[in-house]
Amino acid sequence: MHQNTPKQGYHNLNRFSVAPMLDWTDRHCRYFHRLLSKNTLLYTEMVTTGAIIYGKGDYLAFSEEEHPVALQLGGSDPAALAQCAKLAEERGYDEVNLNVGCPSDRVQNGRFGACLMGDAQLVADCVKAMQDAATIPITVKTRIGIDEQDSYQFLCDFIETVSTQGGCEMFIIHARKAWLSGLSPKENREIPPLDYPRVYQLKRDFPHLTMAINGGIKTLEEAKEHLQHLDGVMVGREAYQNPSILTAVDNQLFGEHFPITNGVDAVREMYPYIENELTKGAYLGHMTRHMLGIFQGIPGARQWRRHLSENAHKKGADLAVVEQALAFVTRGE
């Protein structure tokens, strides 16, 4: 059984992470990403406290190989969040993160996500309850503001309250504000302007807190630039759509020089996992959809994506489909 480290090691754990992304960062995706980087912290999709406590499925399932892995929770009831944090620790998660950044209507109606920024005391109460229930790190992912509440002072007051009253020592800051109405979640990731200097300033004003930055980061060169000002970097869509970026993380950001996995090797390393999941009734397409972008920019990449997209969902689809798709990429070798 994986041993959790009590509330320490934030700096290394959060130095580089892949963001929690709804419908994307499921357990199959995380397993694949782990083959590409052993140091990157991987986040689950956001899971609501209600799903964990009352849902029929196992919303906390993950593979031991995924470590280090963090659970992102959505909710605003301190008791429910505490219960889920305790369960997460028992299951072996390395961190629990509270979502104070998602702007979707569905999320607001459940009173969680970005709207919580408007109630710093409630966020502090939630974090405190989770801290009391578990010994693993409890972190908060937030925006730089919401709606008209987007002054630097508003952000500082939020961080001050949640860190002092809630005991939160680690914040991931999405460097955009969120509009709670009028913009879709997709538009909220693109329309509000990025303000990296504001996040840098926040770290200077709260040097005792561990802070990571998120939003619009596409390359490891950009990540290195941010790491000169902050403790960590979280990458979202780029890591999903172009997962080969992860193959250089261990070498470039953690100074670990071991053979970097190439895309073909990574795909083949997935075979035992895929075979095992197929025997349990999983569909091939549910696994291969996360692998479509691995050959971005490489000859044959388009045919690889097309072959998988057209065939992986078919009844009885197995590893032969992946091998056929891989042939488009390996032909030139």
36-94 residue pLDDT tens:
999 999 999 999 999 999 999 999 999 999 999 999 999 999 999 999 999 999 999 99
102: annotated active-site residue: yes
Percent of the chain at pLDDT exceeding 70: 93
Three-state DSSP state, 43: strand
Closest CA to 93 of 117, 63, 122: 63
Catalytic residue among 102, 115, 126, 168: 102
Quote the pLDDT of residue 8: 42
How far is 97 from 141, CA to CA, in rounded Å? Answer: 7
Cα 92-93-94 angle, rounded to 5 deg: 115
- State the average pLDDT for the chain: 92
Do the annotations mark residue 46 as ligand-binding? no
Paired residues of 72 in beta bridges:
46, 97
Checking if the pLDDT of 2 tops 60, the result is no
How far is 325 from 47, CA to CA, in rounded Å? Answer: 33
Quote the pLDDT of residue 191: 85
Mean pLDDT for the stretch of residues 171-178: 96
First-to-last CA distance in the chain? 41
Q: How confident is the model at residue 10 (pLDDT cuts 50, 70, 90)?
A: low
Do the annotations mark residue 39 as ligand-binding? no
Checking if the pLDDT of 7 tops 50, the result is no
Checking if the pLDDT of 5 tops 70, the result is no
The answer to whether the CB of 108 falls within 8 A of the CB of 67 is: no
How far is 200 from 202, CA to CA, in rounded Å? Answer: 5
Q: How confident is the model at residue 104 (pLDDT cuts 50, 70, 90)?
A: low
Q: How confident is the model at residue 106 (pLDDT cuts 50, 70, 90)?
A: low
Checking if the pLDDT of 114 tops 50, the result is yes
Quote the pLDDT of residue 3: 41
Do the annotations mark residue 314 as ligand-binding? no
**CA 15 to each of CA 42, 75, 184, 213: distance values in angstroms, whole numbers, following the listed order:** 11, 26, 30, 10
The per-residue b/e assignment along 43-77, b for 16 or more CB within 10 angstroms, e otherwise, is bbbbbbbbbbeeeeeebbebeeebbbbbbbbbbbb
Do the annotations mark residue 38 as ligand-binding? no
DSSP 45: E
The answer to whether the CB of 260 falls within 8 A of the CB of 294 is: no
